[in-house]
Amino acid sequence: MDKIAILTDSCSDVPRNLLERFKIYEMALSINYKDKSYRDRIDITPEEVYENLKNEIPHTSLPTVGEMHEKLEQIIADGYNQIIIPVISSGLSGTCKAIEMVCEDFKNIKTKVIDTKNIALGSGFLSIYAAQLVEKNLNFEEIVKKVENKIENSNIYYSLQTLHYLVKGGRLGRVEGMIGSILQIKPIISCDEDGIYYTVEKVRGRKQSINKIIEIVQDKIKDKKNYYLTICHGYAQEEADKIREKMQPYIDKATIYMEGQISPALGVHTGPGLIGIGCFNFDD
**What digits encode the pLDDT tens for the residues 26-80?**
999 999 999 999 999 999 999 999 999 999 999 999 999 999 999 999 999 999 9
Nearest-10 crossing angle of helices 121-135, 140-149: 150
Helix or strand or coil: residue 59?
strand
Summarize the confidence of residues 153-163 as an average pLDDT.
93
Q: Compute the CA torsion angle 195, 200, 204, 205 (nearest 10 deg).
A: -50
Position 181 confidence tier, pLDDT thresholds 50, 70, 90: low
Distance (Å) of CA 170 to CA 51, 72, 152: 21, 30, 25
Do strands 59-61 and 30-32 pair parallel, antiparallel, or not at all (unpaired)? antiparallel
Q: Phi/psi at 244 (nearest 5 deg)?
A: -55, -40
Summarize the confidence of residues 18-32 as an average pLDDT.
97
H-type helices in the chain, by residue range? 16-21, 46-52, 65-77, 95-103, 121-135, 140-149, 164-168, 206-221, 237-253, 264-270
- Mean pLDDT, the chain, integer: 94
The model scores a pTM over 0.85: yes
